[in-house]
């Protein structure tokens, strides 16, 4: 890959790095309360499911207004569970974004359904709603929207009568 003439060679090609230190895009916010909660959990004897996992599920339901909440081990696990709960399988199509992490497409394949990748709006990097509308077919059962870098993707899933699941991303 070549760099624009004004910059000289890229660092990967032996040029001078533009930064000395790694620039993190999204640092986790870990304070004393979080450290204390981890210690309490380790000392409680429950390191997998247990009271904290149940409490997290309850709080997710409370915050989202859902009837029930369930804490799982990862976003991938949550997406897979949502598709399975909706009965998505062979013969179904699920739309997701081209600007994402692999698991939003992998979970569709895990369910035996077909992944339909739809391009993003170059401004927001979120799914382009017009392109989503054009990709909908009678086989479309769900849309996995990626809320890129904390921006909520526009939702029109209800209007199309399809299930909509979210996946959040903090990286660029």
Interface ranges with ligand PLP (CB under 6 A) = 74-76, 100-101, 103-104, 146, 167, 169
- The number of C-alpha atoms within 13 Å of 156 and in the hemisphere containing its C-beta is 11
Indicate the residue among 136 and 145 with the shorter CB distance to ligand PLP: 145
How far is Cα 80 from Cα 78, in angstroms, rounded to an integer?
5
Indicate the residue among 29 and 74 with the shorter CB distance to ligand PLP: 74
Indicate the residue among 10 and 101 with the shorter CB distance to ligand PLP: 101
In the complex, least distance from residue 74 CB atom to ligand PLP, rounded to whole angstroms: 3
In the complex, least distance from residue 88 CB atom to ligand PLP, rounded to whole angstroms: 17
In the complex, least distance from residue 3 CB atom to ligand PLP, rounded to whole angstroms: 28
Backbone φ and ψ for 139, nearest 5 degrees, come out as -90, -10
In the complex, least distance from residue 148 CB atom to ligand PLP, rounded to whole angstroms: 8
SS (H, E, C) 99-158: CCCCHHHHHHHHCCCEEEEECECCCCCCECHHHHHHHCCCCEEEEEEEEECCCCCCCCHH
Indicate the residue among 10 and 77 with the shorter CB distance to ligand PLP: 77
């Amino acid at each position: 890959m070549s760099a624009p003439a004004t910059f000289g060679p890229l660092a990967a090609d032996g040029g001078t790095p533009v930064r000395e230190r790694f620039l993190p895009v999204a640092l986790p916010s870990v304070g004393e309360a979080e450290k204390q909660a981890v210690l309490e959990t380790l000392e409680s004897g429950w390191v997998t499911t247990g009271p904290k996992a149940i409490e997290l599920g309850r709080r997710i339901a409370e915050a989202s207004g859902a009837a029930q909440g369930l804490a799982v081990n990862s976003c991938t696990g949550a997406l897979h569970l949502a598709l399975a709960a909706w009965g998505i399988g062979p013969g179904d199509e699920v739309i997701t974004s081209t600007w994402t992490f692999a698991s939003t497409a992998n979970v569709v394949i895990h369910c035996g359904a077909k992944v339909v990748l739809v391009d993003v709006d170059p401004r927001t990097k979120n799914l382009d709603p017009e392109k989503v509308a054009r990709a909908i077919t009678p086989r479309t059962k769900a849309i996995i929207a990626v809320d890129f870098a904390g921006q909520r993707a526009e939702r029109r899933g209800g209007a199309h009568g399809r299930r909509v699941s979210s996946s959040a991303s903090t990286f660029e």
